[in-house]
Amino acid sequence: MMLSKAIRYSNIHLKLGQKQIFSGFNLTINAGEKILLNAPSGSGKSSLVRLLLGFQKPDSGEIFLDDKALEKNTRHSIRSQCCYVSQDVDLPEQNVWSLLEHIFSFKVNHEHDLNKEDVITSFNALNLETEILEKNVKDLSGGERQRLGLSICFLLDRPVWLLDEVTSGLDPALKESVRNIIINSPKTVIIISHDEIWDHENIRKVRWD
């Protein structure tokens, strides 16, 4: 199991078009901490995730994963330690098991073996039927795709999880199960969600205007 990582946004300034998103923004997330980005719509929650992944660049300021600054020559290394799961879970339309084999064939994932028993254990935790391994991704419901995305995240075992509205298509019992898995994991987790299920004492709310 990989260790969790601390994340630090230091004096971030970001302007998109004519809108100033961040002006001197600072945030420290401790290793293993779970936080909920609880700011208003349009305030830059998704931008914080994109900045960490290096898909967006701040006008000024620095971002650190542990003590490693996000720069051109560290971007790939930092990105490889994060697992991002979005609301839409945009996955290729192919057989689910083939998709898993494809993902685990990437060089960055070579240290993890694709073990069918581990996959089934992960599926069971998310109440996913193992029969979907033989289905095409395009034939899965929205909720099944969300849980498949989460399962892939769990199996890759990266130290940082970035979860963007991942419970929107789930029923209340499944939402609670997913939340409990997240809370009890050793990972550093950033959650973007309007779902009240994340209002929990073990999840720190981070809000700005």
Q: What is the pLDDT of residues 10-42, one digit of tens each?
A: 999 999 999 999 999 999 999 999 999 988 888
Q: Which of 59, 53, 75, 55 is nearest to 22 (CA)?
A: 59
Nearest-10 crossing angle of helices 116-125, 142-156: 130
pLDDT for 49: 96
What pTM did the predictor assign? 0.93
Alpha-carbon distance of 132 to 149, in angstroms, equals 13
pLDDT for 8: 98
When pLDDT is averaged across residues 170-179 and rounded to a whole number, the result is: 93
Q: Which of 86, 148, 87 is nearest to 122 (CA)?
A: 148
Residues 6+ apart with CB under 8 A from 111: none
DSSP assignment string, the chain:
-PPP--EEEEEEEEEETTEEEEEEEEEEE-TT-EEEE-PPTTSSHHHHHHHHHTSS--SEEEEEETTEE--TTTHHHHHTTEEEE-SS----SSBHHHHHHHHHTSGGGTTS---HHHHHHHHHHTT--GGGGGSBGGGS-HHHHHHHHHHHHHHHT-SEEEEESTTTTS-HHHHHHHHHHHHHSSSEEEEE---GGG--TTSEEE---
Domains of the chain: 7-206 (3.40.50.300)
Q: What is the pLDDT of residues 45-78, one digit of tens each?
A: 999 999 999 999 999 999 999 999 999 999 999 9
Is a pLDDT exceeding 60 seen at residue 1? no
When pLDDT is averaged across residues 74-88 and rounded to a whole number, the result is: 92
- Please indicate whether residue 90 or residue 26 has the higher confidence score (pLDDT): 26
pLDDT for 168: 87
Q: What is the pLDDT of residues 99-157, one digit of tens each?
A: 999 998 888 887 778 889 999 999 999 999 999 999 999 999 988 999 999 999 999 99
Tokens 């192919």 belong to: 94
